[in-house]
Structure 1
């Protein structure tokens, strides 16, 4: 399910997906890098290095799997905390039904 979030100050609209992140599953930490989500890029990079080096990469794969389930929620919460809001009624209903907003 994709929703639209808009920033009223900059009038920028971002389309984001709620739920499992297939892009993180396949591309890992490159997703936050491409989205410009620097905070989560460096967190994922650090965790991947810390867990990946001693396990010859298996720990890094595990990080990608775990973050596939939670990254979209983290990304949406960050956008909401930076002033973004639902761009339409459908997006607002979806955010309410998934407990992002009250």
Structure 2
């Protein structure tokens, strides 16, 4: 399920998926890079390098698998903290039911 978030100061609207991130599962650190989410791209890059090099890539695969479960939640929380709000009632209801907003 997807929610629409808008920022009134920049007039940007973003559609964000809630739940498991299949893109992070299959492509690792590239989704944060392409979304311009520099903070989580850097964190994931460092973790992948630190864990992936000694384990010849196996550890990086495990990190990406775990991160796929939490990335969309982290991304939505960062957007909400930076001034984005739910654009419509359906998005607001989804965010409320998932515990993002009260």
Structure 1: runs of 5 or more not aligned: none
**Runs in 1 of length 4+ with deviation above 4 angstroms?**
none
- Count residues with an aligned counterpart: 102
Computed over aligned residues only, the root mean square deviation of the Cα atoms, in angstroms, reads: 0.3
In structure 2, the residue matched to 1:27 is 27
Name the TM-score, length of structure 2 as normaliser.
0.99
C-alpha distance in 2 between matches for 1:78 and 1:38: 11
Q: Per-residue CA shift, 1:54-95, capped at 9, x if unaligned?
A: 000000001110010000000000000000000000000000
Name the TM-score, length of structure 1 as normaliser.
0.99
Q: Per-residue CA shift, 1:33-62, capped at 9, x if unaligned?
A: 000000000000000000000000000001
Matched, 1:48 2:48: yes
Query: How far is 1:11 from its partner?
Result: 1.2
